[in-house]
């Protein structure tokens, strides 16, 4: 298990795209901070918490667009490592377990998404410090909400992983990932949001402050369940699949 | 009876209504350099994938080292080095790192990497990313991946495909030297007869998913019709005489040619001399392997 994990990490070496994607939140927070600076009075004039403003400035775009698209790219790139250059055939003709390969690659994909969220939080904190926000850092909010967002993104991660491994051509999972991201904000405002996992990160990240996204805790039950369901579906298919 | 490294029993693979491999009974002896010959689409790669448990057979079984691959997959694959169709490689990694992956899976010592690089003549390039490699270099890296850790069976699917003549020769010489260097049994597939003739000592011919021939290269050469050329006087009467004897005779450029699957050349001579013909020339023309092959596969070659 550890062995294959190490091997999978080695394969990511020199994969620039993957690291750019993982570090992308930095650019987005910089954008959010610049925005906040430019309209500082507008955003804080009524005595709002500046941290909260910085957070929501950064977060709205992140959870509705950037995060799901980044997940799509991360999962596609992870699958692409094997989908190109004839690699599945060779890798699976070695004495390793298909089960482990499938599981560990998913774990690594999820880890990269997690790093992505950690980068987001740190960027927000650093940006706040640079802006010289005087209030103390609301660690609780800044940590729990992104973690909740991560859990809420489970189904997206699983769906993208399973389709990336399932389709040899990367255009399909990328198309699915991006295509389903775009309407997320609209669906989030409708009563059908629960059927649309792309809305969950929006609820998790922005619920609480924004009344409309405050939909309770049901997503934290639905989300892990969908992850297990989708992953098992892909896993069973992968074990049976002819490697052509 | 020598030990079999590969044995398949009734191995069959259907893709929908297409039967890619049909009731295949392959037998590869230990130490053989087995050439698996067949035109494009004959079913070579599909067979090889079933041997490696990449593809599940519709029917039948594949035994490697006398064990069923379906139930002893990891144990068997540890001893098998494979290159299926085109070479596989992680292009962001160097040649060395690509082999490091194999090393970790097989739990080998570091020096095995250098040994394999040495054999395929890539030591100089080991720290270059594979992205920058030529096809020939990638192919050699593929063979190095298959070699590492003294594996007992090497399965190479069209390892010279797409190479220029110099590259083909280099890989071919490398493969011929493998059994000596590594002591491994080698199965190499190809759609080029002349290549198999140069490399292999055993041959299996697959056509439309069916195994048409299996045996040594010598046995293959003995197959098919033989042809005897005769110069005799008087010629026309000699032709008539042989025809009456039931031979299939043809006259070309002042000679008679007999073709048949089995001819006893001495007997033909004796019969003619006894009849009073003056026989001044009698020789057997070996049919070219290519003709044997074409005859066997019904004139279709890839
Ligand atoms: N996944 C698949 N689905 C449907 N048909 C397939 C599949 N894989 C192979 N075939 C068909 O099975 C037959 C045998 O293919 P295979 O690749 O085994 O031939 P081959 O002998 O390796 O040929 P080549 O010299 O072109 O590599 C072909 O007709 C091919 O089209
Ligand atoms: Mg093939």
Asked if residue B184 and residue B63 are part of one domain, the reply reads yes
- Nearest residue (CA) to ligand 1, atom 30: B41
Tokens matching residue B293 = 């092959």
pLDDT of residue A208: 64
Q: Where are the alpha helices (DSSP H) in chain B?
A: 44-51, 73-77, 95-106, 111-119, 135-147, 165-182, 193-199, 217-222, 235-244, 265-274, 289-296
Asked if residue B87 and residue B49 are part of one domain, the reply reads yes
Asked if residue B41 and residue B132 are part of one domain, the reply reads yes
Is B301 among the domain residues? no
A94 Cβ below 6 A of ligand 1: no
pLDDT of residue B300: 46
Q: Are A223 and A197 in contact (CB under 8 A)?
A: yes
Q: How many CA atoms lie within 13 A of A135 on its CB side?
A: 12
**Strand partners of residue A32:** none
Report, as an integer, the average pLDDT of B295-301: 65
* Minimal C-alpha gap between B53 and chain A (Å): 7
Q: Are B120 and B93 in contact (CB under 8 A)?
A: no
Give the chain B residue nearest A96 (alpha carbons). Answer: B74
pLDDT of residue B288: 72
B204 Cβ below 6 A of ligand 1: no
Interfacial B residues in 136-175 facing A (CB < 8 Å): 142, 145
Asked if residue B68 and residue B163 are part of one domain, the reply reads yes
B38 Cβ below 6 A of ligand 1: yes
- Chain A interface includes B69 (CB < 8 A): no
Is B121 among the domain residues? yes
Domains of chain A, by residue range, sit at 2-239
Is B295 among the domain residues? no
More confident residue, B33 or A16: B33
Cβ contact (<8 Å) for A96 and B105?
yes
Give the chain A residue nearest B51 (alpha carbons). Answer: A93
Cβ contact (<8 Å) for A90 and B145?
yes
B40 Cβ below 6 A of ligand 1: yes
Q: Give the number of other Cβ atoms within 10 Å of residue A139's Cβ.
A: 11
pLDDT of residue B73: 96
* Minimal C-alpha gap between A89 and chain B (Å): 7
Residues in chain A with CB shorter than 8 Å from the CB of B151 are none
Residue that finishes a domain, picked among B189, B206, B221: B221
* Minimal C-alpha gap between B30 and chain A (Å): 21
Cβ contact (<8 Å) for A87 and B88?
yes
Residue B110 belongs to domain spanning: 4-221
pLDDT of residue B196: 92
Percentage of chain A lying above the pLDDT 70 cut: 97
Cβ contact (<8 Å) for B84 and A93?
yes
Evaluate the omega torsion of the peptide bond into residue B234 and state whether it is cis, within 30 degrees of 0: yes
Is B298 among the domain residues? no
DSSP 8-state code for residue A4: H
- Reported confidence tier of residue B299, pLDDT bands at 50, 70, 90: low
Lowest-confidence region among A109-118, A212-221, B187-196, B212-221: A212-221
Give the pairing type, strands B59-64 and B67-68. Answer: antiparallel
Dist. CA B302–CA B296, nearest whole Å: 14
A1 Cβ below 6 A of ligand 1: no
B215 Cβ below 6 A of ligand 1: no
Is B257 among the domain residues? yes
Asked if residue B100 and residue B173 are part of one domain, the reply reads yes
Asked if residue B38 and residue B122 are part of one domain, the reply reads yes
> pLDDT tens digits for B230-285?
999 899 999 999 999 888 888 888 899 988 777 788 888 898 899 899 998 888 87
Asked if residue B211 and residue B165 are part of one domain, the reply reads yes
> pLDDT tens digits for A86-103?
999 999 999 999 999 999
Is B9 among the domain residues? yes
> pLDDT tens digits for B118-146?
999 999 999 999 999 999 999 999 999 99
pLDDT of residue B218: 86
Asked if residue B169 and residue B55 are part of one domain, the reply reads yes
CB under 5 Å of ion ligand 2: residues? B 44-45
Helix (H, G, I), strand (E, B) or coil at B130: helix
Asked if residue B120 and residue B66 are part of one domain, the reply reads yes
Per-position b or e across B62-98, b if 16+ CB within 10 A of its CB: bbbbeeebeeebeebbbbbbbbbbbbbbbbbbbbbbb
Asked if residue B108 and residue B77 are part of one domain, the reply reads yes
Asked if residue B167 and residue B30 are part of one domain, the reply reads yes
Q: What share of chain B is helix, strand, coil (3-state, %, to 5)?
A: 35, 30, 35
> pLDDT tens digits for B194-238?
999 999 999 999 999 999 999 998 888 777 667 888 999 899 999
Asked if residue B183 and residue B96 are part of one domain, the reply reads yes
Cβ contact (<8 Å) for B92 and A89?
no
Residue matched to tokens 């994909």: A109
Mean pLDDT score across all residues of chain A? 90
Dist. CA B224–CA A220, nearest whole Å: 74
């Amino acid at each position: 298990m550890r062995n294959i994990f190490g091997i999978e990490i080695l394969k990511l070496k020199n994969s620039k795209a993957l690291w750019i994607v993982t570090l992308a939140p930095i650019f987005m927070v910089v954008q959010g901070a610049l925005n906040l600076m430019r309209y500082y009075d507008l955003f804080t004039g009524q005595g709002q918490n500046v941290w909260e403003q910085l957070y929501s400035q950064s977060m709205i775009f992140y959870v509705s667009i950037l995060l799901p698209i980044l997940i799509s790219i991360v999962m596609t790139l992870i699958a692409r490592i094997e989908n190109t250059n004839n690699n599945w055939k060779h890798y699976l003709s070695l004495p390793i377990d298909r089960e482990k390969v499938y599981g560990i690659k998913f774990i690594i994909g999820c880890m990269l998404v997690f790093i992505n969220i950690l980068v987001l939080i740190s960027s927000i904190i650093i940006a706040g410090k640079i802006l010289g926000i005087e209030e103390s850092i609301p660690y609780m909010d800044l940590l729990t909400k992104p973690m909740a967002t991560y859990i809420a993104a489970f189904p997206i991660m699983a769906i993208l992983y399973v389709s990336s491994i399932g389709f040899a051509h990367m255009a399909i999972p990328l198309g699915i990932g991006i295509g389903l991201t775009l309407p997320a904000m609209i669906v989030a405002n409708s009563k059908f949001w629960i059927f649309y996992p792309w809305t969950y990160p929006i609820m998790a990240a922005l619920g609480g402050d924004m009344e409309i996204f405050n939909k309770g805790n049901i997503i934290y039950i639905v989300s892990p369940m969908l992850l297990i369901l989708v992953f098992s579906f892909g896993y069973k298919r992968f074990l049976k699949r002819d490697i052509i | 009876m020598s030990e079999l490294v590969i044995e398949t029993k009734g191995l069959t693979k259907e893709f929908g209504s297409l039967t890619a491999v049909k009731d295949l009974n392959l037998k590869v002896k230990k130490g053989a350099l087995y050439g698996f010959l067949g035109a494009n689409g004959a079913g070579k790669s599909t067979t090889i994938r079933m041997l490696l448990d990449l593809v599940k057979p519709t029917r039948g079984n594949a035994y490697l080292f006398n064990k069923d691959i379906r139930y002893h997959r990891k144990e068997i694959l540890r001893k098998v080095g494979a290159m299926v169709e085109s070479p596989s490689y992680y292009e962001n990694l160097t040649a060395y790192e690509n082999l490091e992956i194999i090393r970790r899976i097989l739990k080998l010592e570091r020096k095995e990497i250098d040994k394999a690089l040495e054999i395929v003549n890539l030591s100089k390039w080991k720290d270059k990313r594979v992205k920058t490699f030529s096809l020939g270099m990638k192919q050699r890296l593929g063979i190095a991946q298959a070699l590492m850790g003294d594996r007992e069976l090497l399965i190479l699917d069209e390892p010279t495909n797409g190479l220029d003549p110099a590259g083909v020769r280099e890989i071919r010489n490398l493969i011929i030297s493998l059994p000596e260097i590594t002591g491994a049994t080698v199965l190499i597939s190809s759609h080029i007869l002349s290549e198999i003739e140069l490399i292999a000592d055993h041959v299996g011919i697959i056509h439309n998913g069916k195994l048409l021939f299996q045996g040594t290269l010598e046995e293959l050469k003995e197959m098919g019709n033989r042809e005897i050329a005769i110069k005799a006087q008087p010629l026309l009467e000699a032709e008539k005489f042989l025809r009456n004897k039931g031979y299939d005779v043809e006259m070309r450029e002042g000679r008679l040619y007999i073709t048949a699957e089995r001819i006893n050349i001495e007997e033909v001579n004796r019969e003619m001399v006894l009849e009073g013909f003056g026989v001044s020339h009698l020789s057997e023309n070996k049919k070219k392997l290519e003709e044997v092959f074409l005859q066997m596969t019904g004139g279709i070659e890839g």
